[in-house]
Structure 1
Amino acid sequence: MNDNEKSTRLTTASGKPVYEYENSQSAGPRGPLLLQDFFLHEKLAHFNRERIPERVVHAKGSGAYGTFTVTNDITKYTKANLFSELGKQTRIFLRFSTVGGEKGSADAERDPRGFALKFYTEDGNWDLVGNNTPVFFIKDPKKFPDFIHTQKRDPYTNCKSATMMWDFWSLNPESLHQVMILMSDRGTPVSYRHMHGFGSHTFSFINAENERFFVKFHFKTMQGIKNFTDAEATQMKGIDPDHAQRDLVESIENGDFPRWAMKVQIMPEAEAATYKWNPFDLTKVWSQKDYPLIDVGVIELNENPDNFFAHVEQAAFAPAHIVDGISYSPDKMLQGRLLAYPDAQRYRLGANYEHIPVNRCPYMVSNYQRDGQMRVDGNGGSQPNYFPNSFDGVYTDEKYKQPAEDLGQHVVADWFDRNAEGENDHYTQPGNLFRLMSAEARQHTISNIVGAMKGISGEKRELIINRQLCHFFRADISLGLGVAQGLGIDVTQHAGSMMHGN
């Protein structure tokens, strides 16, 4: 670059022009450095603070901007403005992630994948925060910290522990459905582009007549499903630990924009009480024969963020963020996340995290939240910071009131057993899933389970393995036998007790 092309003067953060950028000021060419070299201190101090706390879960991720386009009329179910007319487009941001690993972990790890969408709508931002699986390992949020601890590092060895994972899963048979998906080749997708996404939880729609419908969200990849075998995933971890990030960036750069078809399952509110499964149990799916998929629209990713940290790392999602026409459900895990997710973002990014551009609603926002670290928008100026007041004319709008929820006439507050009678069939759906797999997929799943369980060690090894085998046998006898054979366990003498969980 010649002198005529230089147009931007280098300055400190406070705007003072910088004379020397690369050499520290010192007492002589070989002497000690001077305290007065403020720019040296500014550079080092900022460098020390460049890393914000990583997410406790979903730490490593990738993301991009795009659009959601309505292709089918669902206004009889919801009055949400983003679905109001065919062809309507809404800007979105989608973040993919692995769940259990740290920021430096490999993209090809056997792990669920996060699938978090932010819709920038005229009625506010709607965050739909799910995974690439329709179910999860647990169904009560009180168990979430314990579960995540087993996916992280052993407090003694500081290594990942198969013993911790399988001990927890074997003691919580509700996990079996998700374990079956994780241990199939679906646990190692080839890329973020080649996997489905799900809202996972049960949410609700509210229409213009204030009728409530329960809803599950599905995002079907239009690139086709592609998964690694366990051997291929292991190889990819060594070849390129960032392969999924690289694939997403390059596909968008090349104009090969990833797309997903958005579909929903709709359950009338009255049918929730009589459905064969608890429709709010995150470890269960709704049969698509009972509640077929309904087309809604298409999401397309067509814009790479120009700075990973500013957009992807600082993106903050919370299922508490809904818009008019969309609401919650009695799903216990969802109810727990309504508190936990915004709390996590305030810890990680600060109280004003929704002022960061990737999280900011692009339409009007009006409230009385003031102050806090990194408030850079004028902080409301001289306007009142309380409500009601006699000055600013801000009002509440009754038309956005949601219909009352019917909780029954004799609702009792108590600590209910999540696996009480009628809520304790943890085997039918995982068994059905296994039997729906092709012969090759069943063999891969068994092989992946065997490989993962061989890492169980310690004095409780036999106890944990036998306990988990009970669950596999109860889901499907051939599954249990296959895993037992792979682990070298002779079950002929007590197969009956295993199949009955004794």
Structure 2
Amino acid sequence: MKLLATLLGAVALATYAQANANVNITYGHGKETQQRGGSGNLTTDQGLPIIDDENTLSSGSRGPALLEDFILREKIFHFDHERIPERIVHARGSGAHGYFEATEDISHLSKASVFKKGKKTPIFARMSTVAGRAGSVDTPRDVRGFAIKFYTDEGIWDLVGNNIPVFFIQDAIKFPDLIHAVKQEADRGYPAAASAHDTFYDFASLMPESTHMLLWLQSDRAIPRSLRMMDGFGVHTYQLVNSSDNAHFVKFHWRTKQGVQSTIWDETTKLQGADNDFHRRDLFESIENGMYPEWELGVQVFDREFAEKQFYDVLDATKLIPEEDVPVKIIGRFVLNRNPDNYFAETEQVAFCPSHVVPGIDFSNDPLLQGRLFSYLDTQRSRFGSPNFHQLPINAPKSPVKNFQRDGMMQGVVNKGRASYQPNSLDQAKEPTGPRGCPFGFGSSKAVTGPREIGPKMRIRDERFKDHYSQARLFWKSQTSNEQYHIVEGFTFELSKVTLPFVRERMVSNLRNVDEDLARRVAQGVGMKLPAKSKAMAPIHDMKPSKYLSIQKNWKKTLKGRNVGILIANGTDGSVVDKLVSQIKKNNATATLVGPTLGGIKLKDGSTRNADAQLAGSPSALFDAVAIVLSSEGTKSMMKQSAAVQFVMDAFSHLKAIGASKAAKPLLNKAGVEQDKGVTDLDDSFIEAAKQRFWDREMKVRPPP
């Protein structure tokens, strides 16, 4: 009895009430902190209510742990198996729930019910980097994945695209080589989440089909300010099929309603140090605060006749179709309005496959797309270890699932009856026969959108796939001078990290086919002689510049969804701060008070104000514009703080609006701020200035070498 009493005492809870900031803390027998209250009883995975899972069952208070402790074994066992293999690419991602609403009738183009005007369809969106692992930073120079899962009444439709309309390669068989080249180098395991290294540029310079994509990668498109502020593209050519089985080619476009906005490269590098989760936090907090991001869905629709007239092949994923040739027609919109309840269960376990389509949407012969149709399904089975990943809640369709697929690891469906095959005649025995084919279901379109491809087996690409430079030149010529400068800076930085001289030379040789000035400036930036031009495999066409390819030519002047940092210190005029905050909120933006400390900032009227962010950990790179609201006393104090000087200096260098009180001018002078249209007083002019960047300032702060 004495031993039994000892064992019972070892597992019994001893509760003590301790006043600590008006919180009652509960302790266990060993004075370890225990859970206060909770929702229901603590149980094992088998539903067994348990008293304690914070202490291992042992023989006495200092004796050995007992093998019979199934609670310990279960808890550790589950912990040891919490992780699944991460995605080979697009491992780092952020997601949210929302809905798609069709706004135009396109029944003449597609019979897909998701496009029925006025219809709302639940969706889940995931946006991601490509090269980095799951724990990498949010803001490297990289293409972003842009994938949408539509839970339609006809099944799942996955539109799996990127924030750039073209890709590095034409044929899926080269995808393993591309990813092996861009990932960490095989012998040394670095660099992570970066294309600026030997193996990537060795591969890319030997694959001139990558040139067009490389220009996009070095442009501002690859360093977005926010996941909310980037467009999305389906990349491939698909087909829309109507109820008469007539088909048209289509390219899908997502247009952000927030306006496309990117960062400056120096700003991006500072963001990586200030907040590894900058994009994920931005998306989550925007939705949490009711600022729901929205995109429009547009389509470029064209026929066989148009496709055959082009000097490039519409099935080539390294090419786009200029909007001047085929305008984008807006047919719907989607809104993200709910954050995931659990990151792993939803954002990590969501499984996108381009092969998931619905009646009215079909594939083309794009060789990159055809390979993706296999690869994505295969990689999901590898990640989940089972063909039943579609049963996970985030992947499960809203429409009924009825087929003869059976069993497999982690099968969650209890299929009844003997009918696990077809055809069968079990109805004659008065037994269920299972489902049968639906005459209105998906069937590969019989329509012909292009010439029938019949010929001998061969490993060869079409002649029109050989032009690798015309559209790269189109993209370059379509940029503003600032945007071209950023592309030059991008190539200069990346090639400066390449240690093999012959790779740098080969890359610049290819760039000469795009534009001589581009190649010359990049060569000058890395300090090398201009090499001979590489041989182009097809004539290079001078295409008319397209305004749609430039961010700055389509800049949306708005403060909505942006974040303004307001620097305060002791002596700050609280009334000025309050007025600024009010104006910012009226523009549907966020105001963040930044102070030398989080609490106890003594204002001009003697009251105290808490800051939202601490200066040393909140550089101005985190904000879209900054206001410096300081008194003479505060300015003197801040001029001694390197973080404050850098805060202002970076805002000016990153071409942002700076509003400042008169007393703060000495701090601006110390930070090297020169007067221009983006440097204002704290009045209405600051709010207007905060809606944009000041590109004219760039040559002052970052002149070419």
TM-score scaled to structure 1, two decimals? 0.94
Could you tell me whether the CA contact under 8 Å between 1:212 and 1:269 is conserved in 2?
Answer: no
2:278 maps to: 243
Is the alpha carbon distance of 1:24 and 1:300 closer, same or farther for their aligned partners in structure 2, counting shifts above 3 Å? same
Q: How many residues align?
A: 492
The aligned residue for residue 36 of structure 1 is 68
**1:118 and 2:118 correspond:** no
Contact 1:477 1:499 in 2 (8 A): no
Which structure is larger by alpha-carbon Rg, 1 or 2? 2
Q: Which residue of structure 1 aligns with residue 505 of structure 2? A: 466
The aligned amino acid for 1:399 is F
Q: In structure 2, what residue type is equivalent to 1:12?
A: T
- Return the letter of the residue paired with 2:153: E
Match of 1:403 among 436, 445, 448: 445
Instruction: Sort the Cα spacing of 1:409 and 1:241 in 2 relative to 1 into closer, same or farther, 3 A.
Output: closer
Give the equivalent residue in structure 1 for 2:222.
Answer: 187
CA distance in 2, matches of 1:61, 1:413: 43
Residue 236 of structure 1 aligns to which amino acid in structure 2? L
Q: Which residue of 1 aligns with 2:234?
A: 199
CA offsets per residue over residues 146-168 of structure 1, 9 Å max, x none? 10011211111111261001001
Report the Cα offset of residue 6 of structure 1. 5.7
Which residues of 2 match residues 68-467 of structure 1 at below 5 A?
68-84=100-116, 86-160=117-191, 162-349=197-384, 350-378=386-414, 380-389=415-424, 390=426, 391-392=432-433, 394-400=435-441, 401-404=443-446, 406=448, 408=451, 411-418=454-461, 421-457=463-499, 461-467=500-506
**How far 1:383 moved relative to its partner?**
4.8
Q: 1:438 offset after TM fit, Å?
A: 0.8
Matched, 1:49 2:81: yes
C-alpha contact 1:135 1:282 (8 A) present in aligned 2: yes
Aligned residues of 1:98 and 1:114 also touching (Cα < 8 A): yes
Instruction: Report the Cα offset of residue 372 of structure 1.
Output: 1.1
Contact 1:210 1:402 in 2 (8 A): no
Deviation (angstroms), 1:399 = 3.2
User: Does the CA-based 8 Å contact 1:470-1:501 persist in structure 2?
Assistant: no
State whether residues 95 and 115 of structure 1, in contact with CA within 8 Å, keep that contact through their aligned partners in structure 2: yes
Q: Are the counterparts in 2 of residues 282 and 331 from structure 1 also a CA contact under 8 Å?
A: yes
Aligned-pair CA distance for 1:5: 6.4
Contact 2:245/2:446, CA 8 A, preserved across alignment: no
Task: Verify: 1:479 aligned to 2:518, yes or no.
Answer: yes
Q: How much does 1:381 deviate?
A: 2.5
Where 1:498 maps in the other structure, the secondary structure is coil
SS of the residue corresponding to residue 215 of structure 1 reads strand
Measured after TM superposition, the shift of residue 421 of structure 1 is: 3.8
Amino acid at match of 2:373: L
SS at match of 2:527: coil
1:269 shift after superposition? 3.4
Checking the alignment, whether the CA contact within 8 Å between 2:311 and 2:464 is kept in structure 1 is: no
State the distance in 1 between where 2:394 and 2:92 align: 17
- Please, which moves more after superposition, 129-138 or 13-22? 13-22
Alpha-carbon distance, 1:422 to partner: 3.0
Unaligned runs of 5+ in 1: none
CA distance in 1, matches of 2:412, 2:434: 24
3-state DSSP of counterpart to 1:108: coil
Whole-Å separation in 2 of the counterparts to 1:228 and 1:112: 14
Q: Is the 8 A contact 1:64 1:94 kept in 2?
A: yes
Identity %: 41
Give the structure, 1 or 2, with the largest relative contact order (CA under 8 Å, sep 6 or more): 1
- Please report how far the alpha carbon of residue 501 of structure 1 lies from its aligned counterpart in structure 2 after TM superposition: 6.0
Residue 45 of structure 2 is matched in structure 1 by 13
RMSD: 1.9
Equivalent-residue separation in structure 2 for 1:410 and 1:121 (angstroms): 33
Shift of 1:409: 6.2
What is the letter of the counterpart of residue 288 of structure 1? E
Change in CA separation of 1:29 and 1:271 when aligned onto 2, cut-off 3 Å: same
Deviation readout 1:23-75 (Å, 9 max, x if unpaired): 11112222221111111111111101101100000001000110111111211
Cα distance in 2 between the residues matched to 1:318 and 1:135: 19
Counterpart CA distance in 1 for 2:452 and 2:70 is: 69
Q: 1:50 to 1:209 in 2, by over 3 A?
A: same
Within 2, Cα distance between the matches of 1:318 and 1:99? 16
Compute the displacement of 1:393 (Å): 5.1
8 Å Cα contact 2:231-2:254 kept in structure 1:
yes
Of 469-478 and 28-37, deviating more is: 28-37
Give the counterpart letter for 1:73 in structure 2. Answer: D
> Aligned pair in 2 of structure 1 residues 58, 4: CA closer, same or farther (>3 Å)?
closer
